[in-house]
Each structure stands twice: as C-alpha cells, then as structure tokens.
Chain A
Amino acid sequence: MRVGIPKALLYYYYFPLWKEFFVQLGHEVIVTGSTNKKIINQGSKISVPEICVPIKIFNGHVLELAAMNVDYIFAPRMVTVEKSKTFCPKFLGLPDMLRYTFCDPQYHFIMPYICSKKEWGADVKELVKDPFLSQYSENQLREAWEAGVKKWQKFQAICRLGYTIDEAMVLYQKEGLPPQKEKNQDISIAVIGYVYEVYDQFVGMEITKRLEALGVNIYTFEMLELEDLKKQLKAMEKTLFWTFANKVFAAGLHYYHQPGIDGIIHVTAFGCGPDSLSGKMMELDSDKYGKPFLTIRVDEHTGESHLQTRIEAFTDMIRRKKLAKK
C-alpha cells in the first residue's frame, strides 16, 4: 500500500517515527513536497476562513496527496502524550474535520488515537481500533512502533546537539551521531514557535536559515532536554493545557534565564489560540528579564521582504546594544 503523510503539522516532529512505523509494516511512505503557494491556496479554499494557517496548510497537503495516487492518508488524532495535558482542540478534532471535509469516497484515512503518557508512545489498544491498522496484531503494531521510536530518539538526540529540525531531518538518516553543532557567532537568538510554523518553508520562510546567514546562533525548543522544560513549568501555579504550547512557553522562560541568549523571536500563526495567551505572557515577562522580544505573526499572505527587514532590524538592534555595553 502507498501511505501518504502530509508535510504539515506534526510531520516536523514525528516524521521519523511515523515513517519507520509504516515501513516496518511493509508499506511505501509518500510525503508531499514543501508547502508552496498552490498548496496553501487549495487548502484555504476548503477551510473555514478564520482557522489558523497550519490547518489550512494541512488541508492543502491532503489534497496534494490525493493527486499523488496514495491509497491511504495518515492523519492521527493526537489526543495526549503527557499526563493531564492534551493537544490543542484543533488536533483533537482534526480527523472529524477531515471526515466531513473530504467526504468523497476516494479518500481513505488512517486516523488512530494517539494516547500515551510518553512523548513517543502510543497505546497499541487504540491503534488496533483503526479500521486499517486492525489487520495487524497488537504485537506487530507494537514492534513496528518501537522500531519507529528508535529512529525518532536518534532524531531527537541530534536536535539536542544543537541542530535545527531541518538539519536533523537529513542527519538522522546517516550512520552515527554528528558532532555537537558549533555556535561561535557573536549573538545568540532563541527562535521559539511550533515546528509546523518555524520550519514550514512557505509561512516560516526559512527563518532559521535567514538568521544564520545574518551571523546569529540559533536556539529552539527542541534543542532543550525535557527536564529543562519541566523545571520552568514547575514554578507556575497553573500551566497551559496544551503539550506543545507548554514546551514553547517553557523554552521561552528557559532562554530568558539563560545569560548567553540575547533575544527571543516568537513565531506564531494568525489566529493561533494557545499562542494568544502564552505569547502575551512572554511579552509581559520580557521587561522583567531585560531581553528584547519579537513576535513574528505568519499567515497565508505573508511577504518575504517584511520578514527579512524585521529580523535584520532585530539583530542590528541587539548587536548595537551589545557594542554599547562593551
């Protein structure tokens, strides 16, 4: 069977795991190309106008997969991968949205529930309930998933060595682990935001590469150990409800405390609910820590020159501040 995975949403975080899982089960994995104008336009056409852009992009990629002659499209229902935390409601309802948007019988989806207490886990009892996956025994599914987890752990380990997800996506397929990434530029900026916004070629416009070209060391949330993130959240009376929002928020706090970090860029999508709260809280905190904070809000209309101008201005400002201090 040809199983299609849309290059959108959590593809950027879980792809190595998902790919290996299907390869182990004996399927061919097809991935869509990077987001482009056409994909985003066709996605916007069939989505509710005011929904956040990552969902529109996802819908666009689903249409793209349909044109690529795949047999099944993988769109798991991400429910929870952490105790008493869930995903954003848009992830919880994603399969239902797909069911009612792509009613045509030519679409076949694989939509298992992902419920686990571990980030890389999945409840096999839930997986086997999916009509497509039910052809396998629980043991087969467990073995395939665990093989996927091995790949994913290597991918994560590479991220921890200071590589961005773009780089890790290439590196994890090579033998062994790469050396720690050198970060010897004069200024360091933390780029925080969901993986499907920062690394999406169209809306994120390769912001990490642009910053590197400006001579900046990049830090992101996936370069941090889970323990570091948890430590930040422990101090709060009440944390956010969403796994990834918490990660991004905790990473923001962590980098505020980190003396080596000179500024923070928050990449967020127009209409993103969780970010509307966590973004404001980080913005209010920026005064407290005396670190500049920049919000880059992306949507389907974003032009490239505005991003370039803003990040150039931001890095220049940080450089001058540093010079003045010397």
Chain B
Amino acid sequence: MKLAFPYMGEGSVAYHKLATMLGHEAVPTLKPTQKTINIGVKYAPEFACFPLKVMLGTYIEAIEQGADTIVSSGGHGPCRAGFYGELHQKVLQSLKYDVDFVIFDSVFDNPRRCIDNVKKMKGNNSFKTVIYTARTVYRSLKLMDEIEKQLQKMRPYEAVSGTCAQIWKNLQKEIAQAYTFEAVDRLRKDTQEMVHAVELIPVPEASRLRIGIVGEIYVVMESSVNMEMEEKLLGLGCEVQRSQYLGDWVDFHLIPHRISKPHELEIQKIGSEYFPIGIGGHARENMGWIKYFAQNGFDGVVHILPFSCLPELMSQSIIPQVSKDLNMPVISFPMDEQSGLANNTTRIEAFIELIKAKKFGSMLTKKVV
C-alpha cells in the first residue's frame, strides 16, 4: 500500500508525516504545477470547480509515481467538495487506473466505511501509537500556523529581504523530521528565536496596510492555484491574514469544540447576520471574516473563489452591498485554468493603490512636487 494525498498549502507536509509515522509508505507531497493543472483539466468535467480539477491532476501524478491508495476527506454537502471522491474514483476508473480510495466521511453518514478506513490507516499500530502520532502531527500543524501568522505580519518590513521566507522554508524542512513532542517543542523554540532575531524596519502603525484574504479553502491556501496571491500582497508591502489555516481547520472540524474552543465559532456567529444558515463551504464564515477584518483595523479584503463555486457565488452576490455597509474595500478573484497572471497582477496592484489613496488621502488631490 503506497499512499497519496491531495496537496493544500504547505501544511500538507503533515499528511505525509502522519502516514510515515504509522509505518505506511507514502508518495512525497506534490505541490501542483502547471502540468498538474493541465492533466486535471483534461480529464475532469468542464464545469467542475477548479479544486476538483487540480486534485485530479495531483492524483494522476501520484499514481504515476507508484501510489495505489488515495486518502482524502469526504463531506455531506451542500458544497460539491463532499462528492469529489466519488467522481475522482469514477473518472480514474474510466481512465483504467487501478487505485483504491480511502475517503473519510463523517462517522454518522456511513459508519461502516468510516471504521473500515480507520482500520486501514491504523495498520498494526496500537491505539496508543495512533493517538500519539495524531497529537504530534496536530502539534506540528499548530506550530506551522503560529509561525506563519507571525511571519505574515513581519514580511513587509524585513530589513534584509528573504529572511522570513528562509525561516519558513527551514521550518517546513525540519518539521517533516520532528517525530516526537520534544522534537516539535525544540523546533518551536529554535524557530521562535530566529523569528525574534529578524531585523525589521520600523514603520509607524498609521502607515501600515493590512489585507485579509477570504474565500474557498483550497484556492485560499494553495499558492500554486491562486497565482501566489499572498506573496504578491506581501511583496506590495501589506500585512496579510488568511481566513483559513490548516490547524484552525482541524480545530473546527475534527476536534470537539469544547476542547479546541475554535475562533471560527465566533466568526460563524458574526456571519449569521448575512447567511442565517450554513449554505455550504465557508460562505457564512467568509462573510463573518469580512466583518471581523473590518472591525479589526484591516484596510481591505481579497476574496478568492474557484470559478462557478456554488457557495462563494452567493457571497460574491451580497459582497457589493456589505462592502458599502462596512466601508470596506473587497475585491473578488475567480480562479480557474483560464486565469491570467498579468490580469490578476494588474487588478491587485490597482486595488492596493486605491486602498492607499483611501487611507492616506487621494493621490489625485495631492500636490505633486
């Protein structure tokens, strides 16, 4: 059994780690490239959402590297993502690929399949090992989130450009090897020291720009499918915060809320003003995040969605009015295989220019010396 996982953000290192710690063989995580996208687009249904296409491409690449079992999450709607597994299976079958699927659904939807899946993943390990492994991976994820959030606030002001990126790269490399609690804690200490040692250019609070990123989880977190939106924003001198982090996702979806006390609950409450019921995906949370960003000193929001995404199209429909109500600039970027880099770059640069004009006074009225 050689496992493969979909790739979503740098935290995906964790799946590989989880598999190897449980003694499975796994294909190294594969960050999507243009080739991955091309393969996915070729075989996926034309109007399926972009993440489905990219993931199909990822799976095919993994199978070519010897994977025979694909592990992914399921769901029970109303967003299409919950059905990805079934469709991927059908498409891969029609392409004559011989591959197993392990799809984790909620225990309540299909208890038999869920137990089977857990058994498959558990292998010959004792439950004690499994729990220890899961906790170590969870710790690693939390550490990555913690450092990433810090770096996203420092990147625009680093004195030597590239310092923060170096720390982030280093962490990704080291975390794959941290197999115990102690190792993760040691890594935390080391990395924190490095973070504190970064030399920063002092910038007064009033002239800082803060941008929030909201949208569909896959295109928000995976830089290769959103044309490195985050990099672009950081490069334009903005602090960035995303609505989605892998550790937060685990807190909200996999751990009882009484223990994890996720921030997302509060966000969901704020979002209920706009969508009183969950309409699938993260539409309600995204509206909550937009309001949260507006109330917490952010200057603008970038909304990223896959082309034809069902829930995000609903939030996109109400964003113009909400943006007016909150006096918060919001820009939407639909992503698919057709998006062009130059187009997005122009739009994002213009957006930031407008925000600067709004915040620091109009460029047009200012006297040019």
Residues of A within 8 A of B (CB): 47-48, 50-52, 77, 79, 84-90, 92-93, 96-97, 99-101, 103, 237-238, 240-242, 270-277, 279-281, 284
- Known contacts A48-B313, A50-B307, A103-B321; A277/B78 CB under 8 A: no
A277 and B48 within 8 A (CB): yes
A273 and B310 within 8 A (CB): yes
Q: Which residue of B lies closest to A270 (CB)?
A: B47
Tell which of B45, B105, B280, B316 touches A280, judged by Cβ atoms closer than 8 Å: B45
Within 8 A of A (CB), among B309-347: 309-311, 313-318, 320-322, 334
B78 and A92 within 8 A (CB): yes
Q: Say how far B276's CB is from chain A's closest CB, in angstroms.
A: 8
Q: Say how far B91's CB is from chain A's closest CB, in angstroms.
A: 7
Tell which of B86, B315, B317 touches A237, judged by Cβ atoms closer than 8 Å: B86
Q: Which residue of B lies closest to A97 (CB)?
A: B317
Q: How far is the CA of A86 from the CA of B80 in the complex (A)?
A: 12
Tell which of A87, A271, A277 touches B87, judged by Cβ atoms closer than 8 Å: A277
Kindly state whether residue B49 has any CB partner on chain A within 8 Å.
Answer: yes
Q: Taking chain A's interface residues, is the majority helix, strand, or loop, or is none over half, making it mixed? A: mixed
Q: Say how far A272's CB is from chain B's closest CB, in angstroms.
A: 7
> Given the complex, which residues of B lie within 8 Å of A52, measured CB to CB?
308
Q: How far is the CA of A272 from the CA of B87 in the complex (A)?
A: 16
> Given the complex, which residues of A lie within 8 Å of B318, measured CB to CB?
96-97, 99-101
Most A CB within 10 A of own CB, among B76, B79, B310: B310
A241 and B78 within 8 A (CB): yes
A272 and B47 within 8 A (CB): yes
Q: How far is the CA of A100 from the CA of B274 in the complex (A)?
A: 9
Q: Mark B87-129, 1 if CB is under 8 A from A, else 0.
A: 1001100100000000001000010010000000000000000
Q: Say how far B306's CB is from chain A's closest CB, in angstroms.
A: 10
Most A CB within 10 A of own CB, among B48, B78, B277: B78
B317 and A48 within 8 A (CB): yes
Tell which of A50, A240, A242, A284 touches B91, judged by Cβ atoms closer than 8 Å: A284
Residues of B within 8 A of A (CB): 45-49, 74, 76-80, 82-83, 85-87, 90-91, 94, 105, 110, 113, 274-281, 283, 307-311, 313-318, 320-322, 334
Q: Which residue of A lies closest to B321 (CB)?
A: A100
> Given the complex, which residues of B lie within 8 Å of A101, measured CB to CB?
317-318, 321
Q: Say how far A217's CB is from chain B's closest CB, in angstroms.
A: 29
B47 and A275 within 8 A (CB): yes
Q: How far is the CA of A48 from the CA of B314 in the complex (A)?
A: 9
B277 and A88 within 8 A (CB): no
Q: How far is the CA of A294 from the CA of B168 in the complex (A)?
A: 51
Tell which of A79, A93, A100, A273 touches B322, judged by Cβ atoms closer than 8 Å: A100
> Given the complex, which residues of A lie within 8 Å of B309, measured CB to CB?
273
Tell which of B46, B275, B314 touches A90, judged by Cβ atoms closer than 8 Å: B314
Q: How far is the CA of A228 from the CA of B53 in the complex (A)?
A: 33
Tell which of B77, B105, B281, B334 touches A86, judged by Cβ atoms closer than 8 Å: B77
A280 and B279 within 8 A (CB): no
Total A-B Cβ pairs within 8 A: 119
A96 and B80 within 8 A (CB): no
> Given the complex, which residues of A lie within 8 Å of B314, measured CB to CB?
89-90, 92-93, 96-97
> Given the complex, which residues of B lie within 8 Å of A270, measured CB to CB?
47
> Given the complex, which residues of A lie within 8 Å of B94, measured CB to CB?
284
Q: Which residue of B lies closest to A280 (CB)?
A: B45
Tell which of B45, B47, B90, B278 touches A271, judged by Cβ atoms closer than 8 Å: B47
> Given the complex, which residues of A lie within 8 Å of B280, measured CB to CB?
89, 92
> Given the complex, which residues of B lie within 8 Å of A87, measured CB to CB?
78
Q: Say how far A233's CB is from chain B's closest CB, in angstroms.
A: 13
> Given the complex, which residues of A lie within 8 Å of B315, measured CB to CB?
93
Q: Which residue of B lies closest to A269 (CB)?
A: B47
A273 and B80 within 8 A (CB): yes
B47 and A89 within 8 A (CB): no
Tell which of A85, A92, A279 touches B45, judged by Cβ atoms closer than 8 Å: A279
> Given the complex, which residues of A lie within 8 Å of B85, measured CB to CB?
238
A93 and B45 within 8 A (CB): no
Q: Say how far B93's CB is from chain A's closest CB, in angstroms.
A: 8
B307 and A93 within 8 A (CB): no
A277 and B80 within 8 A (CB): yes
A-B contact pairs, 20 of them (CB 8 A): A47-B317, A50-B334, A51-B313, A87-B78, A88-B78, A88-B310, A90-B310, A92-B278, A92-B279, A92-B314, A93-B314, A96-B276, A96-B318, A100-B321, A101-B321, A240-B83, A242-B78, A277-B80, A279-B45, A281-B87
Q: Say how far A129's CB is from chain B's closest CB, in angstroms.
A: 11
Closest A-B pairs by Cβ, 8 of them:
A241-B77, A93-B314, A280-B45, A276-B47, A100-B318, A92-B279, A89-B280, A89-B310
Q: Say how far A216's CB is from chain B's closest CB, in angstroms.
A: 27
Q: Which residue of B lies closest to A59 (CB)?
A: B317
Q: How far is the CA of A271 from the CA of B275 in the complex (A)?
A: 22
> Given the complex, which residues of A lie within 8 Å of B310, measured CB to CB?
88-90, 273
Q: How far is the CA of A86 from the CA of B110 in the complex (A)?
A: 18
Q: How far is the CA of A18 from the CA of B309 in the complex (A)?
A: 30
Q: How far is the CA of A74 from the CA of B47 in the complex (A)?
A: 31
Q: Say how far A79's CB is from chain B's closest CB, in angstroms.
A: 7
Q: Say how far A197's CB is from chain B's closest CB, in angstroms.
A: 14
B48 and A93 within 8 A (CB): no
Q: Which residue of B lies closest to A113 (CB)?
A: B277
Q: How far is the CA of A280 from the CA of B79 in the complex (A)?
A: 17
Most A CB within 10 A of own CB, among B91, B277, B334: B277
B77 and A93 within 8 A (CB): no
- Known contacts A51-B313, A90-B314, A279-B45; A238/B110 CB under 8 A: yes
Given A93-B315, A97-B317, 13 more A-B residue pairs with CB atoms under 8 Å apart are A86-B77, A86-B78, A89-B280, A89-B314, A93-B283, A96-B314, A99-B318, A100-B322, A273-B80, A276-B48, A276-B49, A280-B87, A284-B94
Q: Which residue of B lies closest to A96 (CB)?
A: B275
Q: Say how far A189's CB is from chain B's closest CB, in angstroms.
A: 23
A89 and B91 within 8 A (CB): no
B308 and A271 within 8 A (CB): yes
> Given the complex, which residues of B lie within 8 Å of A280, measured CB to CB?
45, 48, 87, 90-91
B313 and A90 within 8 A (CB): yes
Q: Say how far B70's CB is from chain A's closest CB, in angstroms.
A: 16
> Given the complex, which residues of B lie within 8 Å of A241, measured CB to CB?
76-78, 82-83
Q: How far is the CA of A240 from the CA of B82 in the complex (A)?
A: 9
- Known contacts A100-B318, A277-B48; A93/B311 CB under 8 A: yes
